[in-house]
Amino acid sequence: MALLKRYTLYAVIAFSIFYLYHHFSFPSWLENDRMGAPKAGQNAPPTDMPSRSSFDWSKVPIRYPVESLNPLPTGKPRRLPRIQHSFEPEVVTTRNTRIARRDEIKGAFQRCWEAYKNNAWMRDEVTPISGRARDNFGGWAASLIDALDTLWIMGLKDEFKNAVAAVGNVDFGKTSLETVNVFETTIRHLGGLLSAYELSGEKTLLSKAIEVGEMLYVAFDTPNRMPITRWDFSKAQAGEPQVAHENVLEAEIGSLTMEFARLSQITGNTKWYDAVARIMSVFAEQQNQTMLPGMWPLVVNARDKNFKYGGAFTLAAMADSLYEYLAKTYALLGGLEPMYKEIYDNAMEAAAQHTLYRPMTPDNADILMAGMVNVNVTRSTTLDPQGQHLGCFAGGMYALGGRIFENQGHVEIGRKLTDGCVWAYRNSRFGMMPEVFHMRPCGPSMNDVCEWDEVEWMKDVAIRHPPEASASVLAKIPKGFTSIKDGRYILRPEAIESVFILYRITGDEKLRAAAWEMWLAIQKYTKTPLANAALLDVTVTNDAPTKMDSMESFWMAETLKYFYLIFSEPDLISLDDYVFNTEAHPFKIPK
Ligand SMILES: *[C@@H]1O[C@H](CO)[C@@H](O)[C@H](O)[C@H]1NC(C)=O
Ligand SMILES: *[C@@H]1O[C@H](CO)[C@@H](O)[C@H](O)[C@H]1NC(C)=O
């Protein structure tokens, strides 16, 4: 994890939150042994009779009612330009290989699903080494809800039915947490339920999505209607007054839009759309008043609705889905809300100009990385040439936005960013990209070019390490990388997500080949007797990286889904029909 040379208060706060968020290890009292979890299929009510949660969030009195609701944009949805490549019919040999690969991925999913069912049913996660249950997302069956649409897409209909019945028993009236993360609950639970409902039409899923929506809506009951992103659930249940926080990660407040808009579209109740429209208009109004006009700082002040202060800007961790949702929300609203196009254009231009860079590599690869930029009081910008696994979504974002808004330049940027992540996978010792690293930029902008220069590279490696750094530390760094601050690979999806989107957009078979290479590496090193495990350090010089006893719900919800889809027929969840939320839950584009 990179430390900034010039700290600002906000950057320090942001990075502390980042650390807690990503480096937190769960205390053992959160875990049960394998005897504790009920077995799949027990106590399941019939599918058409969801049981209600033990607390009715819709009955909590509202202290700060809104005076007039922002309506959903109305009118006939605009026809979006074609997004997917026009694929030719497949030849038989290609088809056979593709299907064998797809089925291998499906088999890997089924193993993980069985492990979850047998060891952690109704709990948030199964631990892939010890086979225990862990609740770190509220105890609301996060893995189950997150994986519902993957079950459906993979054609596992019996498992799906069984899972839907279990969803009826999830109780959103109580939680194992003191503080609920509104963003995580929105993207995983609300997104997962809505998408599985859209695919299957199962009413239980919609009624549970509404329960979650009613719960989360209470987090917006503050004087200025800005939500509390780390939310005290029991105070809210007790009806205590609430106020939004002063330091809020921009991604956590800025990427609730797709799920809330979709809930309003499906139910016809506009209160959820209204709630997020209020946030997005603050982002829109202040977009040009920040230290880097076009982008917003990592941390914003929700209490004072001040989204301008702060000098650290990136597309990657803590910012990511705020930017990702701009073009996607435009599509989801039927192209009827021009504001999303305006702020998308503005943000993507600023991000391309300031945060993207071309790294120097031994093969002079024509790739881009999404870095971070710091702006000081004199408005001078300094590039921090990071690469982050979380930033790998950006390739898919530029390419998709480029298609939606017919900007071929953005499709090309998206390709180079995606190729950057593929490069980082390919050039890492075990074929998986580490969580956070640095490279040497050719120059401060993405248009700078340079030739590989081993002396320059070694100088940069030296700058980024203390003089006493041992030869063994330096030996772990493959040529091209200049430091690796966080060597974990935790089963994250962002790289395969962009490879999948770029494949669907360009039809380039090289991307499918790259996906298969990535898959083989991941499966080889993360597979456990039960499921798949996060890796502690993919830069070690041993025979294999050490496994950690963790498999987050995004593995079954996102990573395996994108791997499965890239080896499926291109019309399975076509990008012309669906937009994915940031947890890989597809929502139908209105037509
Ligand atoms: C922000 O700046 C961009 C580029 O200069 C401009 O196109 C846009 O209209 C501005 N937006 C607002 C809300 O002033
Ligand atoms: C701001 O950054 C520029 C470029 O790095 C530097 O020359 C300048 O001294 C900095 N100003 C302050 C006040 O830190």
Rounded Cα distance between 325 and 112, Å, is 29
* Whether residue 475 has pLDDT greater than 90: no
Domain of 268, in residue numbers: 2-32+69-588
Rounded Cα distance between 20 and 31, Å, is 19
Helix-strand-coil percent breakdown of the chain, rounded to 5?
45, 10, 45
Task: Report the number of distinct structural domains present in the chain.
Answer: 1
At residue 249, what are phi and psi to the nearest 5 degrees?
-70, 135
User: What's the 296 CA to ligand 2 centre distance in angstroms?
Assistant: 20
* Whether residue 13 has pLDDT greater than 80: no
**Per the domain annotation, does 487 fall within a domain?**
yes
Angular region, 338: left φ>0, alpha ψ -120 to 50, beta rest:
alpha
pLDDT tens profile 518-561? 999 999 999 999 999 999 999 999 999 999 999 999 999 999 99
Q: Is 320 a catalytic residue?
A: yes
Answer whether 378 contacts ligand 2 (Cβ < 6 A). yes
**Per the domain annotation, does 571 fall within a domain?**
yes
Side-chain-side CA neighbours of 96 within 13 Å: the count stands at 2
Q: Is 184 a catalytic residue?
A: yes
Higher pLDDT, 13 or 61: 61
Distance of CA 22 to the CA centre of its chain: 13
Q: Is 22 helix (H, G, I), strand (E, B) or coil?
A: helix
pLDDT tens profile 334-376? 999 999 999 999 999 999 999 999 999 999 999 999 999 999 9
Closest ligand 1 atom to 349 CA: 4
**Per the domain annotation, does 51 fall within a domain?**
no
Burial 102-124 (b: 16+ CB within 10 A, else e): bebbbebbebbbebbbebbbbbb
- Residue 18: which pLDDT band, with cuts at 50, 70 and 90? very low
Instruction: Kindly name the residue from 221, 435, 486, 549 that is annotated as catalytic.
Output: 435
Q: For 275-302, what is the mean pLDDT?
A: 98
Closest ligand 2 atom to 376 CA: 1
pLDDT tens profile 195-234? 999 999 999 999 999 999 999 999 999 999 999 999 999 9
Q: Is 230 helix (H, G, I), strand (E, B) or coil?
A: strand
User: What's the 376 CA to ligand 2 centre distance in angstroms?
Assistant: 6
| CA angle 578–584–585, rounded 5-degree value | 60
- Which residue's CA lies nearest to atom 12 of ligand 1? 288
Closest ligand 2 atom to 382 CA: 5
- Residue 15: which pLDDT band, with cuts at 50, 70 and 90? very low
Ligand in closest contact with the CA of 281: 1
Answer whether 377 contacts ligand 2 (Cβ < 6 A). yes
Rounded Cα distance between 308 and 282, Å, is 10
**Per the domain annotation, does 58 fall within a domain?**
no
**Per the domain annotation, does 46 fall within a domain?**
no
- Which residue's CA lies nearest to atom 7 of ligand 1? 346
Burial 210-247 (b: 16+ CB within 10 A, else e): bbbbbbbbbbbbbeebbbbbbbbbeebbeeeebebbeb
- Residue 23: which pLDDT band, with cuts at 50, 70 and 90? very low
Q: DSSP string of 265-289?
A: HHH--THHHHHHHHHHHHHHHHGGG
**Per the domain annotation, does 175 fall within a domain?**
yes
Answer whether 382 contacts ligand 2 (Cβ < 6 A). yes
- In this predicted structure, what is the pLDDT of residue 470? 83
Instruction: Indicate which CATH number applies to the domain containing 560.
Output: 1.50.10.10
- In this predicted structure, what is the pLDDT of residue 332? 98
Rounded Cα distance between 542 and 537, Å, is 10
Rounded Cα distance between 330 and 340, Å, is 5
Ligand in closest contact with the CA of 353: 1
User: What's the 468 CA to ligand 2 centre distance in angstroms?
Assistant: 29
User: What's the 384 CA to ligand 2 centre distance in angstroms?
Assistant: 14
Rounded Cα distance between 319 and 298, Å, is 6
Rounded Cα distance between 139 and 133, Å, is 10
Ligand in closest contact with the CA of 373: 2
- The proportion of the chain whose per-residue pLDDT surpasses 70, expressed as a percent, equals 91
- In this predicted structure, what is the pLDDT of residue 49? 54
**Per the domain annotation, does 16 fall within a domain?**
yes
- In this predicted structure, what is the pLDDT of residue 472? 82
DSSP state letter for 251: H
pLDDT tens profile 441-464? 999 999 999 999 999 999 999 999
- Return the closest-CA partner of residue 37 out of 156, 110, 144: 144
**Per the domain annotation, does 38 fall within a domain?**
no
Q: For 304-318, what is the mean pLDDT?
A: 97
